[in-house]
A and B are shown apart, each in its own frame.
Chain A
């Protein structure tokens, strides 16, 4: 009987330890799921921390609608997303987004665990182009036991040749953690020999030492655009606040890792203001998104 009680305690310990862990490997549909024709023009990239909203998931369905509308309106070829949730009510949000925008998709859980606590969230890549050479890594830990940070990457076979797409969500707990995670991310993104696009919520201001160092190696797309848009990307407390609620700081970025002959046609923040919905105003996320049109020059 004592052994059985001890075994029950082991089950509870297993549950606690599994409650928030990165998944063992990425999932999704890397190729063969998207059928839509892309409209002509250079590469269009969209980046957004979409806010999972655990535990209340406020306005999640309506916010998914706003994000789908934005992806469609911008005719994005590549979408890099953080905090993409799975909930009992919505199921897999990345699958929903991919289905409604007719794109290939990849997802890896960073935190939570849909089996253990009926919720999880992670990073995702949606792509109009087939994906291959999927890779992922767990970045150095921050200061929170249940918080994990990952990066997810895939090579996209585009009409201009291969592009490496990387998405991440860093913790920014301290300058030391931030520097360690950014260094690990830089090593993970590597030098594939062709252009790479890295997007994510870095949770670090651009004047932080780690970001300053990174900007010397990678091209900050929104800063390099003409005109540049280096406005704040985070965060609003009230998703239903009317327009003109102030964003506080710039912590979300899009980078090109090997610019070569690439040219940034345009780049700007998006989803900065709320949209009109039936009963007032609603923002897609507490973050602004980023959008860039990039001529790869090939």
Chain B
């Protein structure tokens, strides 16, 4: 196993950890430590995706995709308030938009799912800013199930197609 495979494998395991912690957080909900755990587990795959984007995508998309490095720890710091903090939700939506754009050609499945996750986060941010009342505001909660399936998809995608060359070589010519 090469170091790049080991790093990719570790990120995949962390992504699965994030999915598991988010699932418990969704089902239990009362204890913000699961929110914190889910966000901390998201940090390694977010960093790997940022590294991948930085080496393969043009700057605007690479910068957006790199936001995950900030979004995950900030989500952990916010804990219970993450899901109702509009600016954090907006940054999360921007991050996912960047990842979707970077992945669009080489990983279309990941790109499509990430785009859906971005929409769910953007919806949550908008609902929070506009103080949309219940029951319409309930739709803002969709971003957590989206996070669960997204993190699971990332883990599987990284294991099935680790593409270390993409991750550790500098080639900005591949993405428009």
Contact = CB atoms under 8 A, between A and B. Distances in A.
Interface string B130-145: 0001110110111011
8 contacts: A1-B112, A12-B145, A14-B148, A19-B141, A117-B135, A117-B138, A118-B84, A118-B137
Contacts of B144: 15, 115-116
Nearest to B28: A24
B141 A116 contact: yes
B24 A24 contact: yes
B141 A113 contact: yes
List the 9 closest pairs (A to B, CB-CB), nearest first. Answer: A55-B134, A117-B138, A4-B112, A27-B30, A4-B109, A11-B145, A116-B141, A14-B145, A15-B145
**Among A4, A14, A23, A24, residue most surrounded by chain B Cβ atoms (within 10 Å):** A4
A92 B81 CA distance: 12
Contact of A55 (B31, B83, B133): B133
Main secondary structure of the interface of B (DSSP, over half): helix
Contacts of B43: none
Contacts of B138: 19, 116-119
A25 B28 contact: yes
Contacts, number: 101
**Size class of the B contact interface (CB-based, 8 Å):** 20 to 34
Interface in A52-84: 54-57
A43 interface: no
Contacts of A54: 134-135
A32 B26 CA distance: 28
B47 interface: no
B43 to A, nearest CB: 20
A120 interface: yes
